[in-house]
Amino acid sequence: MRIVFVEIQNFRGIKKLEWAPASAVNCLIGPGDSTKTTILDAIELALNPRPYMLADDSDFFDLDFNQPIKIIVTLAGLSSEFRLEDRYGMYLRGWNAQGNTIEDEPAEKLEDALSLRVMIDKSLEARWSIFNDRISEEESDPPTIRYKDSKQLATTRLGPYAERHLGWGRQSVLTRVSESTDNISLQLAEAGRAARDAFRQGNQIVFKEAASRAEQLGKKFSVPIRDKYVAELDVQGVNITAGGVSLHDGKLPLRRLGTGSSRLIVSALQHDTGGSHIARIDEIEHGLEPHRIARLLKYLKHPANDGDKALPPQIFMTTHSPVVIRELVARDIFTVRSKAGITEVRSVAATAKDRDTAQRHLRGSPDAFLAQRVLVGEGRTECGLLRGLDAWWNLKGEDSFALRGVIAINGGGNTTAPVIAEHLLDLGYDVALLLDTDEPSPAVLTNSVRGKGGTFFEWPDTCSTEERIFLDVPWNTVIALVKFAEECEGSESARANINNVCNKKSLPVISDLALPNSLDTDDFRRVLGMAAKNKNRPWFKEITRGERLAEIIAPCLDQISGKPLAKTISRLRRWIDA
């Protein structure tokens, strides 16, 4: 069984949410307070009915307990037991997987589905029931899932700390694996008796005085004493329960394992208990090195060694790790955005123009998906420049990009940069683009980005980033930049690039890289800019060089505040600070 649709109303940070999850992995990403965890909590609450569950006022959206909490989880892929007419067959609904819609009654071309609802009103008592439009809201005793069947639906949960599951406590995975809990009870009862015997035979002197004092006083008040007061181990008081029994490696309890290792073991156990089920994993990367993350993900997606036995589980997880994102495919990842209580969950795969686009963006810029706002540099130069500027500003005591929830990524060229920008906008990110203007991006693409609210930073006067820089910075910075190019590419190569452009423009060539003030003309500055962009041996077209570029030009920005370069960059800074 798998969840095909989730509806949440008035639950914690969510006023309203409707979402059709994927059948296998659902990795939720989004900034803090985007209600990722609330979604997982809601699903867990709906699928795990329990008696006497009490909510509190803070579980209501905006603490408004007059608006009842309502969570409806619709399941498909139902077992035939669930579809029996005297089980839940008469309550079935129809799931339309193409349109992601529910019809209240099943139909031949729809998949049989069952909706479960949990409602909490101001009495704070949670009430679970089967839901469809045919069951009257006034029904005082609506149909429910039988206790035995609810076990089939129960979600497993791998929290940040998995120790609980390494014992035989309630709902621990080991208890699930142990076939008969009757035997466990018997074993525990016997352990209790043995403990009492052992206590009786041990050194009782410590208790003796108090016991005989009690006996004396009792006699004084004529309390009938049948035998003799002694200290005995009250097994109930000592509380030998299944929860106290835990997995040991030799004598060492397994809970002493590292967080990562215990989570791996527990996860493997959970998925070994068989049957397809619904699992929740919080912060999957917690305590794990990248290679172990990769292995865990692979195992989760294809757990069955025993072949065709079970479908892979449906997994709901959250992450803040680019490693996790890189290991997943686009259809596994969903972005969560919350605005005034309206939570939107969007599929990274479904919002992309095609599957390759989404996949490329994930592989290329996993970090982008973890930020709130993304600055897309057109190419490596721009991306490096932005990162360099971040470092510089940080040094000057201004807020870092990270602090502002911003990340700078490489757009990969003038045609791909607008595409990724649009995709990110569709997923709910705030996006800005830093673009060259010498070879402008196709207008179709940029218009579309503009239409969706993307912000543009472009150099005026049709020039590349390099040209703009060489045009606008003071001459001594020009010299510093050429020196940096010389360091990177060697003097010969750097001079060759320059003379190459001079020849084309019928300007006199230069014989060395001394660059006297006499060369400080707009024409020659343009020559340098074009030389920097040489197709074969560009000077700054690498992220690290871009970063260095920023380091060189940033200190002079204040001196040239009237120039387009400085103006554009300060506008960009304002976007970051917004």
Each as own residue / partner, the long-range contacts of residues 473-479 (CB below 8 Å, 24 or more positions apart, any chain) are 473/553, 473/556, 473/560, 473/565, 474/556, 474/559, 474/560, 475/515, 475/517, 475/520, 477/552, 477/553, 477/556, 478/515, 478/520, 478/525, 478/528, 479/515
Q: How many CA atoms lie within 13 A of 64 on its CB side?
A: 11
Q: How far is the CB of 149 from another protein (least distance, A)?
A: 14
Among residues 193, 184, 199, 197, which one has the least CA distance to residue 245?
A: 184
For residue 255, give both structure tokens: 């809970």
Q: How far is the CB of 113 from another protein (least distance, A)?
A: 10
Q: How far is the CB of 131 from another protein (least distance, A)?
A: 15
3-state SS class at 93: strand
Nearer to another protein by Cβ, of 76 and 119: the residue is 76
Nearer to another protein by Cβ, of 109 and 251: the residue is 109
| Concatenated DSSP letters of 18-65 | EE---SSEEEEE--TTSSHHHHHHHHHHHH---TT-B--GGGBGGG-T
Q: How far is the CB of 106 from another protein (least distance, A)?
A: 5
Name the residue type at position 219.
Answer: K
37, 61, 281 from 12: Cα distances, Å: 10, 5, 20
Nearer to another protein by Cβ, of 132 and 314: the residue is 132
Q: How far is the CB of 71 from another protein (least distance, A)?
A: 24
Q: How far is the CB of 56 from another protein (least distance, A)?
A: 37
* Beta-strand relationship, 126-131 and 111-120: antiparallel
Nearer to another protein by Cβ, of 94 and 167: the residue is 94
Q: What is the rounded distance in angstroms from the CA atom of residue 565 to the CA atom of residue 382?
A: 13
Q: How far is the CB of 72 from another protein (least distance, A)?
A: 18
| Concatenated DSSP letters of 172-237 | -HHHHHSS-HHHHHHHHHHHHHHHHHHHHHS--HHHHHHHHHHHHHHHHTT---SS-------HHH
**Residues 24, 4 contacting (CB under 8 angstroms):** no
Which distant-in-sequence residues (6+ apart) come within 8 Å of 342 by Cβ?
A: 15, 16, 17
Nearer to another protein by Cβ, of 89 and 312: the residue is 89
Q: How far is the CB of 78 from another protein (least distance, A)?
A: 8
Nearer to another protein by Cβ, of 83 and 122: the residue is 83
For residue 3, give both structure tokens: 């969840």
**Residues 490, 521 contacting (CB under 8 angstroms):** no
Nearer to another protein by Cβ, of 82 and 539: the residue is 82
Among residues 507, 471, 477, 511, which one has the least CA distance to residue 491?
A: 511
Q: How far is the CB of 40 from another protein (least distance, A)?
A: 29
Nearer to another protein by Cβ, of 84 and 403: the residue is 84
| Concatenated DSSP letters of 116-161 | EEEEE-TT-BEEEEEE-TTS-TT-SS-----HHHHHHHPPEEE-S-
**Residues 121, 136 contacting (CB under 8 angstroms):** no
**Residues 66, 122 contacting (CB under 8 angstroms):** yes
Nearer to another protein by Cβ, of 81 and 461: the residue is 81
Nearer to another protein by Cβ, of 79 and 123: the residue is 79
Q: What is the contact surface with another protein in residues (CB under 8 A)?
A: 78, 80-86, 89-92, 94, 103-108, 112, 134
Q: How far is the CB of 93 from another protein (least distance, A)?
A: 10
Nearer to another protein by Cβ, of 134 and 452: the residue is 134
Q: How far is the CB of 88 from another protein (least distance, A)?
A: 9
Q: How far is the CB of 309 from another protein (least distance, A)?
A: 21
Nearer to another protein by Cβ, of 103 and 121: the residue is 103
Nearer to another protein by Cβ, of 104 and 232: the residue is 104
Helix or strand holding residue 414 (H, E): none
Owner of token pair 């239409």: 451
Q: How far is the CB of 105 from another protein (least distance, A)?
A: 5
Nearer to another protein by Cβ, of 90 and 97: the residue is 90
Q: What is the rounded distance in angstroms from the CA atom of residue 544 to the CA atom of residue 548?
A: 6
Report the residue count for the chain.
Answer: 578
Among residues 371, 365, 373, 369, which one has the least CA distance to residue 572?
A: 373
Q: How far is the CB of 242 from another protein (least distance, A)?
A: 32
